[in-house]
Amino acid sequence: MEIIPAIDIRGGLCVRLDQGDYARETVFDADPVAVARRWQEAGATRIHVVDLDGAREGAPRNEGVIRRVLAAVSVRVQVGGGIRDIAAIQQYVDAGAARVALGTAAVKDQTTLVNAVSLFRERILVGVDARDGMVATEGWLETSEMRALDLIQQLSEFGVQRIFYTDISRDGMQSGPNFPAINEVVEHAGGLPSPMAVIASGGVSSIEHLRRLRAIGVEGAIVGKALYTGALDLREALAEFP
pLDDT over 90 percentage in the chain: 80
| Residue among 51, 53, 129, 167 flagged as catalytic | 129
Residues 16 and 28: their CA atoms lie apart, in Å, by 7
- Could you tell me the domains of the chain? 2-240 (3.20.20.70)
Residue 51 catalytic?
no
| C-alpha neighbours within 13 Å on the C-beta side of residue 108 | 16
| Residue among 8, 51, 53, 167 flagged as catalytic | 8
> Range with the lowest mean pLDDT among 15-19, 59-63, 216-220, 238-242?
15-19
pLDDT in tens, 141-161: 566 668 999 999 999 999 999
Tell me the whole-structure pTM to 2 decimals.
0.93
Phi/psi at 95 (nearest 5 deg)? -80, -10
pLDDT in tens, 6-62: 999 999 999 988 766 787 889 999 999 999 999 999 999 999 999 999 988 999 999
Residues 126 and 167: their CA atoms lie apart, in Å, by 14
Residue 85 catalytic?
no
Question: Is-contact 5 234, C-beta < 8 A?
Answer: yes
Q: How far is CA 204 from CA 84, 109, 200, 213, 233, in A?
A: 28, 30, 9, 9, 12
pLDDT of res. 24: 84
pLDDT of res. 132: 82
